[in-house]
Structure 1
Amino acid sequence: MVKTSASIDIDRPPTLVYSFIVDDFLVNYPRWSPEVKRLEALSAGPMRLGWRARQVRVDQGRRTQTDFEVVDISPPSRVAFRGIKDPYFIDFSLDSTADAGTTLIFSFELGKLGFAFKPFEKLIRYAVQEGVTRVTRNIKGLIESEVPHEPR
């Protein structure tokens, strides 16, 4: 199993960060994770517990298609996804900071690696950590450049 996370402070309140991640997920997810080449909702309506989507990704030249679902949603502090057939778990947790900003913690777990991938576990762990760190930086950059501050 590969577990990793990254944390970053964003100069916007949790409600705005949550909205950017959850309410505008179908538009913004491919922007903060450019490996996502196609994304479609499999469930109607807004994101909620059990809501499902399908993604097509190209990671280091390898194309994959996976379906995932929301397994936890707690506005404005958390949303978590789990692969339906694929062994991964993604968690976005948001905490208020003392200066009315948000600490975003993005966690990713990749389930048990198959025997063929065991020799590459360190390399996989490094690539996953790099990706998680990049996603948090991308989210911060997009939000801070596009989402105006709420009046204080």
Structure 2
Amino acid sequence: MVKAQSRTLIKRPLEQVFSFIVDDFIQNYPRWSPEVKSLRALTSGPLRPGWTGHQVRVDQGRRTETEFRVVTLEPGSRVSFRGIKDPFQIDYKFTPRDGHTELTFTFELAKLGFAMRPFEKLIRIAVQEGTDRTARNIKGLAETELEPASPTPPPR
């Protein structure tokens, strides 16, 4: 198993960050993960457990097509995806932090094919770099495009 995790503090309210990632997933996912060349919903309607999608990615020159499904959706807290035929899971966890959002992004590859095992160390490094880049991209997009929280008026 190859697992990588990255945390970042996004200086925007949790509700906005959650909506940016979950409600606007089809529009925004290719923006924070530019390896995604094509993304489409296979299930109509908003993300919910059981919702499925299809993506075409080009990672380090290698083109892959995968289908995935939402396996967990906890409003304001977490969304997780799992490959339907491919052994991966992606998890976005949202934690409120003083009016901001701590995002924990996790990517897990459940197993490596026999031919890839000699490259496991390199794969781990690439997966961690990709996880860190994704978290940075989400932070940058969210902080650029979403409104900051309104300051709390001082007590009287």
Bin of the TM-score, shorter chain as denominator length:
over 0.9
Whether contact under 8 Å (2:43, 2:52) holds in the other structure is yes
Per-residue Cα deviation, 1:57-106 (whole angstroms, up to 9, x for no partner)? 00000000000000000011100000000000000000011x21010000
> What corresponds to 1:129 in structure 2?
128
Aligned to 1:21: 21
After superposition, the CA RMSD in angstroms is 0.7
What's the offset of the Cα at 1:39? 0.1
SS at match of 1:94: strand
The aligned residue for residue 57 of structure 2 is 57
Ranges in structure 2 where 5+ consecutive residues have no aligned partner: 152-156
Find the counterpart in structure 2 of residue 45 from structure 1: 45
Which runs of 4 or more aligned residues in structure 1 lie more than 3 Å from their structure 2 counterparts after TM superposition? none
* Counterparts of 2:95 and 2:148, CA distance in 1: 17
Bigger CA radius of gyration = 2
- Residue 151 (structure 1) shift: 2.9
Q: CA–CA distance in 2 between the matches of 1:117 and 1:49?
A: 31
The sequence identity of aligned pairs, in percent, is 61
Alpha-carbon distance in structure 2 between the residues aligned to 1:50 and 1:69:
6
Question: Could you say which residue in structure 2 is the equivalent of 1:151?
Answer: 150
Letter in 2 for 1:3: K
Alignment partners' CA distance in 1, 2:8 and 2:125: 19
Count of residue pairs the alignment pairs up: 151
Pairing of 1:3-152 with structure 2 (within 5 A): 3-97=3-97, 99-152=98-151
TM-score, normalised relative to structure 2? 0.95
TM-fit CA distance, 1:43? 0.2
Q: CA deviation at 1:149?
A: 2.0
TM-score, normalized by length of structure 1?
Answer: 0.98
Distance 1:100 1:32 in 2: 23
